[in-house]
Structure 1
């Protein structure tokens, strides 16, 4: 009886996640259309005569300390923050996955060398390493992306390596080798189907972390530089005006929370989709 009830509860949970995600995406699409097709504000245009204006039809979220439209900058900042985060994520996956496959499949000295490199990167928290690298390379979004990729590729490489080692110990890989299937065929037909699910789940969950990392480093001046409307940089610009207009800090902060929430929902859905050992909880 408990198992039947659990089976009935699962679809409602999935439907709730999909409904919440679709609602948020539809709302964001409507706001984007209204902002860029109807209002058409320049996100970098300084108008001191219109600074710190309250919410209105012309400026739905008001203006900042330089008279720039907050909503326009918020949406354009979302494109930049999420876009930079996705780019860093793709680069980390592109670098980490081949390293993990090669090290796990070859083993021996190659695998041991990779493990020592990975242990070096993992000896310190990601945020600390990214801050140090960004400080050494200098402020700028390009250097920040390099720093994030440098600390994130190791996680994907280790995940893929462990998956490859685990699968290579199974009988079907031995049978494939006996039947004359080459290394490329084994990786393409047998290993990658197991790798892709794990990588997609980790990437979807990691996207929110990278967004937080880019925003936090931009907030302390190591990422995007003014007047680029990146969310972390917007938080830094609005900090001196917190008492006069706290909404300048609240809006980009809420945007970061919302996008991270969406990425976590997607990650949970992918984890349920690719989990090969699904267990029904009573």
Structure 2
């Protein structure tokens, strides 16, 4: 009875967390639609005559040091931050999945080379490696995406490689080889379904980390460049005016915290859902 009560409480807590994350995402979408279709401010248009104004009907969150509407820049900055995070994550996922499948299935010298490369990337924190690579490639959007992909593909490749090695020893894979199934078909038809769930769970948990990476790079000047609105760049632009208008740093900082928290909760829910399905199948 006690165990059943604990499981019920845990299930209820997961549903509440997931519901809160979905509600927050819906509110974020509504604010974005309001900004895009009602306010219609140019996020890069400067007007020094209204610089550092407080909230008003025309500017709900006020204006920044160049007279630009903060709410518009905040919403479009979210597009940049989240959009680039999804792009970098998708590229890392595809590259890592392909590399892990080939290394795990082929084995031999190819697998040994892959493992040495992976160990080299994992020897240092992600943030340090991304900053170094971005600095070497030069500041800018493309350099930032390339640096993040070069760091993030390793974790997906390692997960996929381990799964491929484990599943390759199962009876159904031995039967497929005996029947003369080609390696490409074995990888896509038999191994990919076992890999997809784990990779998607890892990606959902990784999205918040990538958002923090992109915001951090833009904050130190290695990511998205002005005047393009982006949360990290907005934090950097607002630093000199913190004492005069602290809300200019508060709004993008709060947006980063809430969005990362939202995606972390969604990632936890997806992981728990996948674990439950796995237990039921087992």
TM-score, L = length of structure 1:
0.95
Cα 1:124–1:178 shift into 2, 3 Å = same
Cα contact 2:21–2:263 (8 A) shared by 1? no
Tell me the secondary structure at the aligned position of residue 127 of structure 1.
Answer: helix
Matches within 5 A, 1:65-144: 65-144=65-144
Aligned partners of 1:30, 1:122: CA distance in 2, in Å? 40
1:272 matches 2:272? yes
Structure 2 equivalent of residue 178 of structure 1: 178
More displaced, 22-31 or 61-70? 22-31
Match of 2:58 in 1: 58
Flag structure 1 segments of 5+ consecutive residues without an equivalent: none
- Counterpart in 1 of 2:214? 214
Q: In the alignment, which residue of structure 2 is the partner of 1:201?
A: 201
CA RMSD of aligned residues (A): 1.5
Matched, 1:247 2:264: no
Deviations 1:62-81 (A, max 9, x none): 10011100000000000001
Following superposition, the deviation at residue 278 of structure 1 comes to 4.2
- After superposition, give the CA deviation of every residue in 1:53-110 in whole Å (9 maximum; x if it has no partner): 1111111111001110000000000000111111100111111111000000011111
Aligned pairs, how many? 279
CA 1:2–1:179 in 2, change beyond 3 Å: closer, same or farther?
A: farther
CA distance in 2, matches of 1:17, 1:267: 11
How many Å apart are 1:234 and its aligned residue?
Answer: 0.3
For structure 1, which segment, 266-275 or 250-259, has the greater mean C-alpha deviation from structure 2 after superposition? 266-275
In the alignment, is the contact (CA less than 8 A) between 2:201 and 2:267 conserved in 1? yes
5+ residue gaps in structure 2?
none
1:1-16 equivalent positions in 2, closer than 5 A = 1-16=1-16
Following superposition, the deviation at residue 13 of structure 1 comes to 2.1
Q: Is 1:237–2:237 an aligned residue pair? A: yes
- Return the alpha-carbon distance in structure 2 between the equivalents of residues 196 and 41 of structure 1: 42
Whole-angstrom CA distance in 2 between matches of 1:128 and 1:19: 35
What's the counterpart of residue 225 of structure 1?
A: 225
- Is the partner of 1:255 in helix, strand or coil? helix
In the aligned structure 2, how far is the partner of 1:137 from the partner of 1:183? 37
Distance 2:186 2:66 in 1: 59
CA contact (8 A) 2:163 2:195 kept: yes
Report if aligned partners of 2:59, 2:69 keep a CA contact under 8 Å in 1.
yes
In 1, Cα distance between equivalents of 2:33 and 2:157: 40
- Paired residues of 2:97 and 2:156 also in contact (CA < 8 A): yes
